[in-house]
């Protein structure tokens, strides 16, 4: 594999940051799940995502050389260096400022998992044929996990939407809150453009029709309505422009490593 066929490091970091940030959000449910089975299920999804992030951070660190490490990339980059979708850093409840206290809402968590995993099933599937053979190998492993994540989230979206009046209302509110953030999926970034140009990455905007169809089918079965499209600000997390929520999340995730830099366990 030559340098011309490798995915840009920023593209790999975008994929890794997506996984680690959502993995951290889902870890907040550990010990707080609505039922024991779901407590374990979400913990497993979180571990899958963190495992994906580790593989990607390790690949970037190897290519950067020097003193770069996976821990350094995860724990010692600031929020202004992370390239994850804004959707994934949002708290597990409705729209509130980052420091606000609120009960976590399982419908919000599940709908976010559904919207994101519906995308990543398409992305990982495409990346199996990446010109970057290292990334293609990671994609093959990650696709199996993403398919399970989508199956799990889809089942719960349908249960919530076609369940009680309260569960339906909560799921519908989560869809209306979160769906606008998915517009970021379809915008361009320099690292995605570069990865598409050398066939190492996935052309995400070209996947919109497939994603729309997948999402619409599940929401229809759940008796949930797609909100009317609105024009407004499109988030730019993958270009390192984040909401206030990411700094709070990273503060919790990175605190121990930064308090004891260089420690071994």
The tens digit of pLDDT for each residue in 51-81 reads 999 999 999 999 999 999 999 999 999 999 9
The reported pLDDT for the residue numbered 126 is: 98
Average model confidence (pLDDT) for the chain?
94
98 has pLDDT over 60? no
CATH H-level, domain 3-259: superfamily: Ferritin, core subunit, four-helix bundle (1.20.1260.10)
Q: What is the pTM of this model?
A: 0.94
The reported pLDDT for the residue numbered 85 is: 98
Distance CA 95, CA 243 (A): 11
Every domain of the chain and the residues it spans: 3-259
Mean pLDDT value of segment 200-217: 98
């Amino acid at each position: 594999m030559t340098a011309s066929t490798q995915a840009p490091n920023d593209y790999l970091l975008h994929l890794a940051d997506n996984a680690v940030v959502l993995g951290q959000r889902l870890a907040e449910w550990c010990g707080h799940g609505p039922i024991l089975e779901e407590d374990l299920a979400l913990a497993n999804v979180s571990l899958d995502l963190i495992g994906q992030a580790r593989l990607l951070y390790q690949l970037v660190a190897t290519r950067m050389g020097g003193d770069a490490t996976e821990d350094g990339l995860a724990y010692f980059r600031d929020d202004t260096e992370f390239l994850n979708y804004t959707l994934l850093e949002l708290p597990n409840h409705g729209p509130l400022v980052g420091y606000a206290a609120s009960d976590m809402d399982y419908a919000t968590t599940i709908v976010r998992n559904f919207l994101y995993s519906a995308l990543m099933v398409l992305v990982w599937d495409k990346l199996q044929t990446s010109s970057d053979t290292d990334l293609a190998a990671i994609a093959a492993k990650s696709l199996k996990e993403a398919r399970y994540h989508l199956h799990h989230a889809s089942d719960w979206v349908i249960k919530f939407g076609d369940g009680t009046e309260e569960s339906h209302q909560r799921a519908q509110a989560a869809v209306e809150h979160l769906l606008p953030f998915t517009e970021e999926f379809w915008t361009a970034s320099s690292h995605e453009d570069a990865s598409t140009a050398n066939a190492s990455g996935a052309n995400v905007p070209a996947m919109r029709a497939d994603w729309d169809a997948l999402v619409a089918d599940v929401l229809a079965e759940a008796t949930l309505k797609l909100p009317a499209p609105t024009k407004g600000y499109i988030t730019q997390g993958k270009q390192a422009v984040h909401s206030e929520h990411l700094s709070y999340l990273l503060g919790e995730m990175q605190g121990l490593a930064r308090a004891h830099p260089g420690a071994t366990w």
